[in-house]
A and B are shown apart, each in its own frame.
Chain A
Amino acid sequence: MRLPRLYAKKRGHRRTVSREWGVLGDGIFHGILLAAGLFFGGILVSGVVAPEWRINHDFVRTTCSIRAKGLARIMRRDSPGGTVAHWEPRLLVRYLTDGVDRESWARITAHDTSVERDRALGRLARWELGAEVPGWFDPADPEDVVLERGYSGWLWLLGLLLPGALVLIGGTGLLRRLRSWGKSEERLAASAGLSELLDPLAHPAPAAPGHPGVPMWDDLVNSPGTILRYRLPVESPEYWTVFGFGFFALLWNLVVVVLAVGPGLDLLGGRFEWWVVALLVPFLAVGVGGIVLFVRSLLLATAIGTTQVEISAHPLLPGGRYDVLLAQGGTRVLRSLEVLLELEEHATFRQGTDTRSEQVTVYRQQVLACGDVRPAPTSRFETRTVVEIPVDAMHSFTAAHNAVRWRLVVRGTPDRSPAFSRAFPLVVLPASAAPSSDESPTRPPAVQPERNGAGTGRESR
């Protein structure tokens, strides 16, 4: 029997750990999570859920006469080597079971202990000596009586939520690993469905019907234009910057408010502790700075005015020519305004435990350039142009970790503000299949790692 290798060569120059060891390690990790979930779930079910369920379903109703009140002291382990006393209110009750007159110290509910003795005593106050009250006894142990039924909601939640999450994460991970054991990546990819259910984050947005790998363009054609057929949605990094600054300012200042509550109350009570205030000042300064940055970015983003781009058709085809309308709102004078057609490659990869992404623009063509743009106070600046997609253009492509994206980018330079850039995504379809011919001049395959017929062989186990 051969043991799996500790490392194996991946395609290209990257050397990675063995797939088998990876799968084994991942399986063990998820197995531990599953076992922990089952263990803690078992403890909570046997200690909390099951006793309550029995009381509500199996215990037999009777009538109890209250004879005395008392507290039961239960010693429980706390810190290593130490114990802590818990107090449980109890009532001495007399009741009949199958014609037998019994007397027992009854619990009020299934779980009613407290570390505070006074609190436990308080629970007894509303019960009157000599009163006749309903009670429920365990048919298997008639001495075990409770006076109130019901469920401890939070205990059930705790009992199900935490171990449930562990069981879910561990179980799905283990199932995913078991399912992939001994199967090729092609077989796994060919039988999607369950794998998508088990690992939904690993799969990209659905591709356009009939165009594998091409993103859907539904969101790009659901807004009609005012002059041309479609108004393209905007993807502006400025808005994300505004959102980021706003979110940071909100979060930071909430923390500052929480930290300032105590010293503020002290100050109102006439006590002033200078070192606490000194500690708060840097936090407050950062909070004010966050607000200033947010307001500034908001003013810059809104001062420019909206940019609209409309197009005569969508999706686009290589070699196609399309009318484009650019409309710029606002009252700012722009020293320059240009429209660029760009093709951007986007890759997502892991570096250690971080997920990073990188973008590279591999095609850029200026389709419109205007100088000294002065929008009128009552109407927006409008201009038209024609955009032509190169005949040998790569189509739009999307997968879980890689994408090739076409877009129109509007760049402007206001007179007295920083330049802005707004992107409008496009979808370019592959060109329709040309008549195939081996005779036509073609470039050789970009990657020809083997001589004709003898492929790259990899032993993977």
Chain B
Amino acid sequence: MMIDPQERAVGMPRIEVVFARQRRQYDPGDRLAVRYAVEGCEGESTRAVEHSVVWYTEGKGEEDLGVHFFERITDRASLPDAVRGGSFETALPGSPLSYEGVIVKVRWCVRVRLFFASGRDFVSEHVFLVGRIPPARLPPRGG
């Protein structure tokens, strides 16, 4: 069944995240600063906004997740501003570094998650790199 893109977009917020570094390339210990702007959730009551900087694994194994930075905004004074947009920053840790392995991959990302009063939530994820590890390749057979 074909889904009309316009129809799919209804009720789906759009979160734009801008990294202080356009290339999204960071070294361990660097300061990560991001700004975000939310569009398309006018008229929906929001009960919380979460900002996080996490690493997770991808690949053959079950997903592992590590949270480096986490912030939840629920108070009525800050929430209206946070729902429209905001910024946050954190110093990155020394590890783990981003890694593009064969069956194990480690990725870093910034997540902005909106919790609506209706019970649903929406998360926007923005990948960046920590470290400069080249992608892994299988060694030649018999090597």
A and B: partners?
Answer: yes
**Interfacial residues, chain A to chain B (CB-CB below 8 A):** 2, 11-12, 182, 184-187, 189-190, 204, 210-214, 343, 345-350, 358, 360-364, 392-395, 397, 399-404, 429-436, 438, 442-450, 452-461
Set of chain A residues within 8 Å of B137, measured between Cβ atoms: 362
Is B67 engaged at the interface, CB distance under 8 Å to the other chain? yes
A186 to B96, Cβ gap below 8 A? no
Set of chain B residues within 8 Å of A397, measured between Cβ atoms: 95-96, 99, 104, 106
B97 to A430, Cβ gap below 8 A? yes
B103 to A358, Cβ gap below 8 A? yes
B119 to A185, Cβ gap below 8 A? no
A212 to B66, Cβ gap below 8 A? yes
A346 to B104, Cβ gap below 8 A? yes
Contact with A along B111-143 (1 / 0, CB 8 A): 111000011111111111101111111110001
Give the CA-CA distance A107 to B21 in the complex, in Å: 85
B139 to A364, Cβ gap below 8 A? yes
B104 to A347, Cβ gap below 8 A? yes
Is B50 engaged at the interface, CB distance under 8 Å to the other chain? yes
Give the CA-CA distance A360 to B50 in the complex, in Å: 37
Sample of 25 A–B contacts (CB below 8 Å): A11-B58, A186-B50, A189-B65, A190-B52, A212-B66, A212-B94, A213-B96, A347-B103, A347-B104, A361-B138, A364-B143, A395-B96, A401-B61, A430-B95, A430-B97, A433-B30, A434-B132, A444-B23, A447-B127, A454-B15, A455-B17, A457-B12, A457-B13, A457-B14, A457-B125
Contacting residue for B125 out of A210, A431, A453, A456, CB 8 A: A456
Give the CA-CA distance A199 to B13 in the complex, in Å: 34
Set of chain A residues within 8 Å of B134, measured between Cβ atoms: 392, 443
Give the CA-CA distance A458 to B23 in the complex, in Å: 23
A401 to B62, Cβ gap below 8 A? yes
B99 to A349, Cβ gap below 8 A? no
Q: A186-B70, A442-B132 are in contact. List 16 more A-B contacts (CB 8 A).
A: A186-B52, A186-B65, A186-B113, A189-B54, A212-B68, A212-B95, A345-B136, A364-B143, A430-B28, A430-B97, A436-B27, A452-B18, A455-B16, A455-B110, A455-B112, A460-B122
Set of chain B residues within 8 Å of A404, measured between Cβ atoms: 99, 101, 104
Give the CA-CA distance A348 to B60 in the complex, in Å: 8
Shortest distance between the CB of A358 and any CB in chain B (Å): 6
Shortest distance between the CB of A226 and any CB in chain B (Å): 32
B99 to A401, Cβ gap below 8 A? no
Give the CA-CA distance A210 to B93 in the complex, in Å: 8
A458 to B125, Cβ gap below 8 A? yes
Contacts A190-B52, A392-B134; A349 near B60 (Cβ below 8 A): yes
B62 to A345, Cβ gap below 8 A? no
Set of chain B residues within 8 Å of A213, measured between Cβ atoms: 55, 66, 95-96, 106
Contacting residue for A345 out of B65, B103, B128, CB 8 A: B103
A190 to B98, Cβ gap below 8 A? no
Is B59 engaged at the interface, CB distance under 8 Å to the other chain? yes
Is B24 engaged at the interface, CB distance under 8 Å to the other chain? yes
Shortest distance between the CB of B122 and any CB in chain A (Å): 5
User: Which of B54-99 touch A at CB < 8 Å?
Assistant: 54-55, 57-68, 70, 72, 93-99
Set of chain A residues within 8 Å of B26, measured between Cβ atoms: 436
Shortest distance between the CB of B3 and any CB in chain A (Å): 13
